[in-house]
Amino acid sequence: MSWLINSSIGRKVVQSLSGLFLILFLLFHMCMNVVLIFNYETYDFLANEILGANWWAIVGTLIIALGVVIHILYGIILTLQNQKARGKDKYASSSKTPQAWSSKNMFVLGLVILIFVLLHLYQMWYEMQFKELFHISGARTDGAQLVAEKFSQLWVVVAYIIGFIGLWFHLTHGFWSALHTVGWNNTVWMKRIKVLGNIVSTIICLGFIVVAIAVHLGYSNLLG
């Protein structure tokens, strides 16, 4: 399996599969957030009883963390290798080749996402699962209330929106690129997977943003 490290296509496949895995996780996470709009109690039940500090939730968290670490590590390796392959001398007449903006800025978009993820982990995950796990006092079990508190601050909502706009651009290129990398593309499917990528990116990002804004404006726990 050394080709997953030594070969350019192998490295791209790792980047692709880790990215697709993170997309699946985000879809699940987004669906769970939508519950906040309807009922806080159900949300807390899902967060504490179904997930919480149960072994499966811990294993899940570790797998996701592994996915994130691999994706970032490979992203850095790919970017550095590609800069080297470009050579030391840069073009004086800068490239006029039309290309999708996001495809040229995947690393920077990734950094935007990373900063956002760190903020998010500190604000939510650290207060709940982490503190519970390591028996640090003040672990929160009222997840929905915690979310409502955080989202009542405007700057948090704005930070979330910026993070998800970055993610949207990352995914509009990332989704079809990932399928292309594992070979699932041809002249017919090219248009389809690009459209599908735009739909998936929009559903994910809009879902997260809508929940953040709804909670901020008080349109949450509607059936509570």
Query: Which chain residues interact with other proteins by CB under 8 A?
Result: 3, 6-13, 78, 81-82, 84-87, 89-100, 103-104, 106, 173, 176-177, 180-187, 190
CB of 27 to other proteins, least distance (A): 22
Contact between 33 and ligand HEM per CB under 6 A:
no
Q: Which does 207 bind (CB under 5 to 8 A by kind): ligand HEM, other proteins, none?
A: none
Q: Which does 170 bind (CB under 5 to 8 A by kind): other proteins, ligand HEM, none?
A: ligand HEM
Q: How many residues can be counted in the chain?
A: 224
159: Cβ–Cβ under 8 A, 6 or more apart, which residues?
116, 119
- Residue of 38, 45, 107, 189 that binds ligand HEM (CB under 6 A): 107
Q: Kindly compute the dihedral angle of the four CA atoms of residues 163, 14, 99, 24, in this order, to the nearest 10 degrees.
A: -40
CA-to-CA dists, residue 73 to 25, 39, 63, 106, 217, angstroms? 19, 38, 15, 14, 38
CA-to-CA dists, residue 173 to 101, 158, 167, 197, 217, angstroms? 9, 24, 10, 8, 32
Contact between 11 and ligand HEM per CB under 6 A:
no
By three-state DSSP, how is residue 53 classified?
Answer: coil
Contact 18, 69 (CB under 8 A): no
Binding mask 125-154 for ligand HEM (x = CB under 6 A): ------------------------------
- Residue of 11, 23, 156, 160 that binds ligand HEM (CB under 6 A): 23
- Residue of 11, 19, 43, 160 that binds ligand HEM (CB under 6 A): 19
Task: Select the span of 16-24, 47-55, 86-94, 144-152 touching ligand HEM (CB under 6 A).
Answer: 16-24
Helix (H) or strand (E) holding 166: helix 154-181
- Token pair, residue 28, equals 């699940």
Residues that bind ligand HEM (CB under 6 A): 12, 15-16, 19-20, 22-23, 26, 71-72, 75, 78-79, 106-107, 110-111, 113-114, 170, 173-175, 177-178, 181
